[in-house]
């Protein structure tokens, strides 16, 4: 699997169009989503008027979700003036202050309550 980073420009191919956005195949195993708001500046009423399945596109990686590795893409970034583009060394990685990595899921809160209280008290004491 290829490693991607935020701000990277990629060539891809549109593989699907939904009312909320378009899916783009980046390589044999990786697909990203261009949200309808990232297709172009201004209002887009119907993506089928802007894109078509099979169309090659140049996209910019906006975000890579830390836990599920979903890739958010943009076509609007290509319209930006060169002075507005961020340098490549800027770290745009989001940090989520959550316990999602612990995979609690939908288990009962009571089951984890004591551990959470202990963790919170530890953090307060730091």
Question: For 28-66, how does the pLDDT look when each residue is reduced to its tens digit (9 = 90+)?
Answer: 889 999 998 888 877 888 888 889 999 999 999 999 987
Q: What is the pLDDT of residue 42?
A: 79
Tell me whether residue 1 is in a domain.
Answer: no
Range 74-79, long-range pairs (CB < 8 A, 24+ positions)? 74/34, 74/38, 75/34, 75/38, 75/39, 75/40, 76/38, 76/39, 76/40, 76/41, 77/9, 77/38, 78/9, 79/40, 79/41
Supply the range of the domain harboring residue 37: 9-91
Tell me whether residue 54 is in a domain.
Answer: yes
Phi and psi torsions of 31, nearest 5°: -130, 145
Q: What is the pLDDT of residue 29?
A: 87
Contact 2, 10 (CB under 8 A): no
Tell me whether residue 42 is in a domain.
Answer: yes
Q: What is the pLDDT of residue 83?
A: 43
Question: For 60-112, how does the pLDDT look when each residue is reduced to its tens digit (9 = 90+)?
Answer: 999 998 778 889 999 887 655 444 555 555 555 555 556 666 665 666 777 88
Tell me whether residue 113 is in a domain.
Answer: no
Tell me whether residue 96 is in a domain.
Answer: no
Tell me whether residue 73 is in a domain.
Answer: yes
Phi and psi torsions of 62, nearest 5°: -90, -40
CATH of the domain at 61: 2.40.50.140
Query: Bridge-partner residues for 9, per DSSP?
Result: 60
Q: What is the pLDDT of residue 97?
A: 57
Q: For the whole model, what pTM was predicted?
A: 0.60
Domain count, the chain: 1
Q: Where does residue 63 rank: exposed (0-12), middle (13-18), buried (19+ CB within 10 A)?
A: middle
Tell me whether residue 23 is in a domain.
Answer: yes
**Displacement of CA 85 from its chain's centroid (Å):** 18
Tell me whether residue 43 is in a domain.
Answer: yes
């Amino acid at each position: 699997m290829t490693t991607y980073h935020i701000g990277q420009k990629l060539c891809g191919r549109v593989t699907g169009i939904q009312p909320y956005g378009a899916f783009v195949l980046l390589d044999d195993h990786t697909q990203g989503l261009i949200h309808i708001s990232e297709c172009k500046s201004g209002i887009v009423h119907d993506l089928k008027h802007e894109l078509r399945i099979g169309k090659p596109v140049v996209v910019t990686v906006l975000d890579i979700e830390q836990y599920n590795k979903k890739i958010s893409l943009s076509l609007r970034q290509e319209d930006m003036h060169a002075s507005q583009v961020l340098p490549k060394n800027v770290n745009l990685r989001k940090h989520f202050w959550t316990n999602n990595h612990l995979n609690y899921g939908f288990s009962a809160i009571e089951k984890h309550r004591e551990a959470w209280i202990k963790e919170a008290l530890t953090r307060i004491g730091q």
